[in-house]
């Protein structure tokens, strides 16, 4: 019986077995065709990709493969399909979109191209990456296979939001991003603006954009240094300020919201701060018939905003609302700037 040889050169080739040289020739990794990781190499085309794809549909920055996750300097990241779609329709520039594997038969790149076309904008750079990299980019597993780099969020100034909106919801130290996102979504649908303090409060982040289903990209949102000072400036401009409290004696339906109105909502645990509450013209409550003693702040905001919408849409109220809006706009324009601390 012949003994087995340990020498490399004496091994027999099985039927159909290829030599290393033949394998390199097949996959283009020989000296004449540099492969992945070798100088001058380029990854093989992704199965199903179109030959000769132009830049802008599937980006390859110089020296970077198509799965690069480098974020443009100064850009913010958002994630989720509705947020990215609304960003393409909104005010912010979308620089890069990263895509992960979609559902079987799903073409996410084609979906992004359709969103851009609907918005009348060119397709941003599209890069592919794996699910773990998407989670790392988004900071959340709820990315739905889509992450985008966009401009940093641009808030309105206090003067601008007072001039543009006659219905506002101001949030006093509401820190939960999901509550803020839900309030922004409702406010945008009701045609209202949102005012948030700069400190000790949630701001527009990727999580807030996702919770709002992308409504942040169209909503009027101002970030102010001091909420109490902003409310003082709003009152001088002709706004009525309504605070909310569970023990308030006036029910929310007893008030007239046809004139320039601000609803002030506090955090669920603390309520309104003392100075903020002192600036409210009226404190209102929502009647509770069950055993719980409070509602979620985003639910309360929705009830109040749509009561104002209902009143303003009622027959005979258009003239009063228009008169109030014109008066508020004139007063804001006349003052020129909010008092120190409101900006």
Q: What are the pLDDT digits (tens) for 28-50?
A: 444 444 433 333 343 444 444 43
Write the pLDDT tens digit of every residue in 310-332: 999 988 765 555 555 555 555 55
Mean pLDDT of 117-130: 91
pLDDT band at 81 (very low <50, low <70, confident <90, very high): very high
Domains present along the chain, CATH in parentheses: 76-150 (3.30.1330.30), 158-335 (3.40.1280.10)
pTM above 0.75, yes or no: no
pLDDT at 63: 36
Indicate the DSSP class of residue 169. Answer: E
Indicate if the pLDDT at residue 95 is higher than 50: yes
Q: What is the pLDDT of residue 184?
A: 98
In this prediction, residue 59 carries a pLDDT of 42
Q: Among all chains, which residue has been given the structure tokens 């945008």?
A: 188
CA distance 311 to 166: 13
pLDDT for the residue 247: 87
First to last CA, the chain: 94
Buried b (16+ CB within 10 A) or exposed e, 269-297: eebbbeebbebbeebbbbeeeeeeeebeb
What pLDDT score was predicted for residue 324?
A: 55
pLDDT in tens, 286-297: 998 888 878 899
Residues 6+ apart with CB under 8 A from 167: 190, 191, 192, 193, 257, 260, 261, 305, 308, 309, 312
Least confidently predicted of 62-76, 105-119, 309-323 = 62-76
The more confident residue out of 266 and 34 is 266
Sheet containing 282-285: order of strands: 221-224, 193-197, 167-172, 261-266, 240-244, 282-285, 250-251
Choose between 133 and 106: higher pLDDT. Answer: 133
**How many Å apart are CA 321 and CA 151, to the nearest integer?**
35
Position 13 confidence tier, pLDDT thresholds 50, 70, 90: low
Tokens at 33, concatenated? 């065709």
């Amino acid at each position: 019986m012949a003994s087995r040889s340990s020498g490399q050169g004496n091994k027999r080739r099985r039927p159909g077995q290829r030599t290393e040289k033949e394998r390199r020739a097949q996959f283009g990794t020989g000296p004449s065709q540099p492969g992945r990781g070798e100088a001058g190499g380029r990854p093989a085309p992704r199965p199903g990709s179109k030959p000769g794809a132009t830049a802008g549909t599937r980006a390859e920055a110089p020296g970077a493969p198509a799965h690069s996750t480098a974020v443009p300097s100064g850009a913010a990241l958002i994630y989720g399909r509705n947020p990215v779609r609304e960003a393409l329709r909104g005010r912010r520039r979308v620089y890069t979109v990263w895509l992960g594997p979609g559902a079987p038969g799903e073409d996410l790149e084609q979906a992004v191209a359709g969103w851009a076309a609907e918005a009348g904008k060119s397709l941003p750079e599209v890069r592919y990456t794996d699910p773990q990299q998407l989670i790392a980019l988004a900071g959340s597993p709820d990315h739905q296979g889509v992450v985008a780099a966009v401009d940093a969020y641009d808030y309105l100034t206090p003067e601008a939001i007072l001039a543009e909106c006659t219905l506002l919801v101001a949030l006093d130290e509401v820190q939960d991003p999901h509550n803020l996102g839900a309030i922004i979504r409702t406010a945008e649908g009701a045609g209202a603006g949102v005012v948030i303090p700069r400190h000790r409060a949630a701001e527009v982040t990727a999580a807030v954009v996702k919770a709002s289903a992308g409504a942040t990209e169209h909503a009027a949102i101002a970030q102010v240094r001091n909420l109490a000072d902003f409310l003082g400036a709003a009152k001088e401009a002709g706004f009525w300020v309504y605070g909310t409290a569970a023990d308030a004696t006036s029910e929310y339906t007893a008030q007239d919201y046809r004139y320039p109105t601000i609803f002030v909502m506090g955090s669920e645990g603390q309520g309104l701060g003392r100075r903020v509450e002192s600036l409210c013209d009226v404190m209102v409550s929502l009647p509770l018939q069950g055993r719980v003693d409070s509602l979620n702040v985003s639910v309360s905001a929705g009830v109040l905003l749509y009561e104002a919408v209902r009143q303003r849409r009622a027959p005979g109220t258009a003239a009063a609302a228009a008169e109030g809006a014109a008066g508020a706009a004139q007063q804001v324009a006349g003052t020129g700037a909010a008092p120190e601390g409101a900006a």
